[in-house]
Structure formats: structure tokens, C-alpha cells
Structure 1
């Protein structure tokens, strides 16, 4: 039986296995406006209605506790993922095994260190994906502000198979060169402008957000 578009599901993936080298210390639990940095990202996803929400993070019980308390599923691979692609593959395997997504479903991805991740942008991408399913014309959806690409990026679920087929030197971005992509202008949604796409990589970045 084919699923109807109004029954589609959306899944969020947060790769969080990075080592924060440029920050000089673990960053995802740094306090930012009364809560840990990663809590801002998780809360944006959940406010937008994205659940299940999967965080991939090995060997960090304090961070795992924060994520689970806020309602995220956490995968803790025994070996730290060598690159973001591996984290995404693990998350997709988990989602496939637990929820058996269908052809109309989708998955979205954004870094863990985006405290201004926009609920409005997430909502626009989901709405457009629903419309594209109804018209049988799904594609990867990439939000833009002032013409600049940002996150989250939405992928139709069937493209998850391609992630598992990526070559050694290929990342998830390779999917954007092999499949239809729609750029989605979101300038009208955001009072904060390009900050919606900003992440925190360095101490200077952190100070700007405090």
C-alpha cells in the first residue's frame, strides 16, 4: 500500500561526534543564554515537530543526559565516528530499523552547534516537501539567505540508500551533485538574517552569541 502524503514523517539527525578542536574545549555543553549550546539546537527541532530526533555522540555521558532529558534519541557508537558521514549512516540505520520510513518520508540534518537553528525554516522545508510529494516531484531542499546555502537540509527518505553507498573520500554533500536540488529562499522568515545559519566553532564565535 502506498502511503498518502499527509501521513509522511520527518526525522532529524544531529551529528555531534566532533572534537571541537578549533574551540579548544568541548563546546556542546557550554552555557549559552541559560542552557547548554546543544539544547538550543534540540529545542528548535522539537518545537518544529521533529521527532524522532537522533543525536550521534560517543563517550560523553553528560551530553547524552542533556540530550535525552530534552527528548532526543542518542546513539553511542563504541568507536568515535571518523567523519560526519559515518554519524549520518549510523543514524539512518537506526531510523530504518526502528521506524521503517516510507518513500514519502524525509530526513533533515544540521550541525549540533547551531544555536539559531530556525523553526520557521524547518517548517517551510517540511511544507514544501509535503507539496512536492503530492505532485510527485521530490528533491533535496536547501534553504538560502541572501543566496547563501545553510541548514537544515532536507532529503527525501529514498536517498538514504545513497548515503550508505558513498565512497571513501565522499561526504553527504555528494548527494547534492547526484540528485535534484531546490534552493529555498528564506530571507523573509528571519529577523536575525544570516545568523540563522551560523555555528560556533571558535571562542570568538561563542563570545558573539553570548
Structure 2
């Protein structure tokens, strides 16, 4: 089953006396600073997100409208940060850990927050405090395991969570960051102006890129039609000797079928450049069960082939240890009924991807995520999902190419899968508007790609222009 999410606590109760206005409402990326950080926490998958307000709460709260956050009012905010920490801890119910963020750190990323969570989950027992550090200097935000909540709740009002570091030095785990800007804060208007000036041209993100992870449907093609710039994009990759992986949540077709489709569209590539959620599901099952294990598949030939090739027995539904669901255009009521009975009987529920819709020339049609949602409603069981925005496809792609997140660009057309997954792992992201989501969707979303282009042709042109005098 999926891990219980780590909580976020956004400490935003201060009076901002040196700013002459609420620091929480300073603009960053077109949003109030407090909204920006709440969006980052949401993109990182943290839940619940608690926001502690104090001074000027009535002015600040509307900036968070529409966001899945829980507002806490600290009426003792003038006594110090410890009063906000104590209030937040009292509201944390069932969270295994919490990351405490301050509202004046605009360069915090979803990738950093996810890295803190991953570091904690992978740590040995008794290492329950994770602190980001640059060149040995600790910073914020800080993750505290639940075992420390009682001590945090008892902190003096004028003392922050760092007071626990000395008493629990043996339980500290430092996560090194490569860029000090990630941990920079702004205590004065001059410091905030300095952080604004330090913001880089977004296109500069493309300069260190050595590899690309690109979605296919809605980026390279729509239905059977190539999208603008397809062949030129692959020519550009070859010119620059850029590594690439073509990654899709669609498990209906095999890797070979994707290679053949690209060939029909004028692009020659090899199977090792293609990875789909069917392959990811097969590898996951091999980690969980031996070949010969019974699997009931609701999905297309690509998913069935990937599982059969790994030695799993595909049943007709009479009994199964796993139910694996991928996109299936011939999905029937009987498929739904049989899968429901097996899951209710104890079979583990695996989904290839959460895409609720799928682009064809005639418009958007139901995707695998719609089928998963139907089965989840029928069984009250949440599936374990392999595809984007979960990290498996990205991590496998980077491992194949031998590259790091900072030098790998994610290209996609969906905010909720392609872009969100890249942001969570700290990869630069480029969204193209040729598929699922529009510019208006971006404006309404809490997921904010680093770069936005009309299509692949526009992205390639902008990338080429970086080297022009």
C-alpha cells in the first residue's frame, strides 16, 4: 500500500514589521509568497498542509483560497515561533512526520521537499530529524519524525524547532544541497530584493541539460498525426548528442509498437529509448512475487505481454494474487465486476497510470485513471500506481541514461502527471500546449512548469537560439 504522506507545516504568523506590509503577500511567480509555498508543498505530495497564521490573518487567508490547506490561527504569535510550532503539532493527527517551512524562502522546491522525505524514509531507525545543509551549514525547512512531536509541542513560545538539535545530535541527518539559493530567506526588504534579482532567466535551465525525458501522446503526436516539429526535434537531439527516453503512461501498446509508430511518423529510434508503465509494472511485480504468480489483467496487449514475458500467469479471473489495471479501450462491465470481486477478496490492486483522459484527434476520451477511479469506488481500495507522477518511470529513465536530475529535462503536456512528477524529483520541466492542458489550465493550476511552449517546434527553436550570438 502507498506510504502515509508526510505533513507540511507552513509557519506564516509573523508580523513582518520590517516590511511595512505582510511578507506573506509579497509577489513571487505571479502569486502571493504564501500561495507559492503552499503550491510547492502540494506539488511535493505533502499532506495535510497546515498553514499557521497570526498577524494580519484576515488579509492573508484569502490568498490561499481554493487550495487544499488547513488554516490555523495563532493568537499568541507575538510570543514567538515556538507558539506556532506547538499549535501546529497539536493539529497533526496520524502523520508519521512533518516538514516545517518558513514563509520567506521562495526558492524552496518540491524536489527538495521530496528529497527530505526520501532521505528520512531510507534512513536507519533513530535518525528522525532531516536537515538540509549547504557546505555543512544547516538550513530550513526541517523534517521531524512523529516521535519528536511531544517535545516540539512543549517548546517555549520564543524558541523554534532547532532547539532540539543539541539534545538529539545523534538523530540528525543532513541532506546536502548544491545551490545555496534553495535555503535562502528574506528577513528584510533588501534581502527580498536580492532574492528577486538572483532569479535566473528560465531558458537558462536548458544550458546544462544533457538528457531529455519526453512524454509521447500530446507531445510527439496526437492519435496518428505527428505534432509540429517532431522530426526536427529528434534531429536537434542528434546534433547536440543529447540522450533521451520516450516515456509514456500508456500501457496498452508494447515498446516495439511505439518504435514502429515513430518510424511511420518519420523518426527512427530503438527500443532502449522507450519506456512505458507496463514495463514498470512488470518490474515492480518481480520485486514483490515470483514468476508463476497469478495475475488478473485489465488492459491491452502491451501490458499483458510485459507481464507474461516476466513469467507471470495471466488468469481469466477465477483466482489471482494481483489485479493489474491499464488503459483498455474494450473495458466492460464484466471486467469491472471480476476485478472488483478479486480485489475485495484480497488481491493486490496495481494501476499502470492515473491519466483520467486520453487525447485522440476527435478529442479527449477516458483513460486508465478513469477506470482506476471506477474500481476504487467499487472496492474502497486505493491502487498502487506505477506511472507518472510517481517516480518509477523517471528514475528508471535516468538510470538508463546515467544522468542526474539537474541535467535532465522533462517534456510533457499534462500538469498532473508529466510536470508534477518532474517537479517532485527536482527535474527541470517544460510543458507544451499541444496536448491535454492549456495555458488557462496552467494559470488555474497549483502545478507550475519551469518553461511553457506552444509545441515541440517552439521548444526546439528556443533551445537552438540560446547559442546564437
* TM bin (shorter chain): 0.7 to 0.9
Structure 1 residue 170 displacement after superposition: 4.3
Superposed counterparts of 1:54-203, under 5 Å: 54-58=50-54, 59-95=56-92, 99-101=93-95, 105-132=96-123, 135-167=124-156, 170-179=159-168, 180-187=171-178, 193-203=179-189
Unaligned runs of 5+ in 1: 188-192
Unaligned runs of 5+ in 2: 197-469
Higher relative contact order (CA 8 A, sep 6+): 1
Structure 1 residue 76 displacement after superposition: 1.5
Structure 1 residue 45 displacement after superposition: 0.8
Secondary structure in 2 aligned to 1:110? strand
CA distance in 2: counterparts of 1:80 and 1:169, whole angstroms: 10
Alignment partner for residue 22 of structure 2, among 20, 26, 32? 26
The equivalent of 2:237 in structure 1 is none
Q: Relative to structure 1, is the Cα distance of residues 194 and 140 closer, same or farther in structure 2, using a 3 angstrom cutoff?
A: same
Superposition misfits of 4+ residues, deviation over 6 angstroms: none
Q: Relative to structure 1, is the Cα distance of residues 91 and 149 closer, same or farther in structure 2, using a 3 angstrom cutoff?
A: same
Structure 1 residue 94 displacement after superposition: 1.0
The equivalent of 1:40 in structure 2 is 36
Work out which of the two has the higher radius of gyration on C-alpha atoms and give 1 or 2. Answer: 2
Please list the CA deviations of residues 111-151 of structure 1 after superposition, one character each: whole Å capped at 9, or x if unmatched. Answer: 1111111222211111111112xx43432111112222112
Secondary structure in 2 aligned to 1:50? coil
The normalised TM-score by structure 2 is: 0.39
CA distance in 1: counterparts of 2:156 and 2:135, whole angstroms: 32
How many aligned positions are there?
A: 193
CA distance in 1: counterparts of 2:119 and 2:193, whole angstroms: 35
Is 1:9 matched with 2:5?
Answer: yes
The equivalent of 2:201 in structure 1 is none
The normalised TM-score by structure 1 is: 0.83
Structure 1 residue 186 displacement after superposition: 2.1
Secondary structure in 2 aligned to 1:28? helix
CA distance in 1: counterparts of 2:77 and 2:155, whole angstroms: 19
CA distance in 2: counterparts of 1:171 and 1:201, whole angstroms: 16
Structure 1 residue 174 displacement after superposition: 1.4
CA distance in 2: counterparts of 1:112 and 1:23, whole angstroms: 14
CA distance in 2: counterparts of 1:13 and 1:149, whole angstroms: 19
CA distance in 2: counterparts of 1:78 and 1:174, whole angstroms: 22
Q: Which moved more, 1:57-66 or 1:34-43?
A: 57-66
